[in-house]
Copies of this chain bind each other. A is one copy, B any other.
């Protein structure tokens, strides 16, 4: 099974993913006019919106928009929904960081595909593996060679 390449690691972090307002609107269920209004209030911001050109949003903005929408649906006002989304955004950054840094390599364990997530902090003699077995993932410690 192939090793994770540098290109693919970059993809996990997806720092460069960007998409237009139509796609963001369709994905999130938030209308284009809502998105433009939120932008005018500086709640969200496109990567570049240089004078009449099409807006481009990054992946983290998608997450933010979806979360804001969730709180709006729960009955909160827009400013409150935005404030609440900020806590979750921190969390997303963490998840992304883990994605980038912890997927060390791809291997096979007993014929099942597995991700080597690297050594334990307290016991570097063991690596943590996430193994896909019978359609679900399990976590297992495996000693280094």
Complex alpha-carbon distance, A8 and B28, angstroms: 12
Q: Given that A5-B70, A88-B8, A95-B115 are known contacts, is A121 also in contact with B106, CB under 8 Å in the complex?
A: no
Checking B17, B20, B92 against A8 with a beta-carbon cut-off of 8 angstroms, the contacting residue is: B92
CB neighbours of A128 from chain B (8 A): 128, 139
Q: Assuming A20-B19, A113-B91, is B97 touching A122 (CB within 8 A)?
A: no
Chain B residues positioned under 8 Å from A102 (CB to CB): 130, 137, 139
The proximity string for A residues 83-107 relative to B, scoring 1 for CB distances below 8 Å and 0 otherwise, is 0100110111011011101110010
Given A7-B70, A18-B26, A98-B132, also A1-B137 (CB < 8 A): no
| A118 CB within 8 Å of chain B | yes
CA distance A139 to B141 in the complex (A): 11
| CB-based nearest B residue for A131 | B121
Interface centre among A17, A26, A94 (most CB of B within 10 A): A94
Given A8-B91, A20-B23, 18 other A-B residues pairs in contact with their CB atoms under 8 A: A1-B91, A2-B84, A2-B88, A4-B91, A5-B88, A7-B67, A12-B95, A16-B27, A17-B27, A20-B20, A91-B106, A95-B115, A98-B115, A98-B130, A99-B99, A117-B139, A120-B141, A121-B140
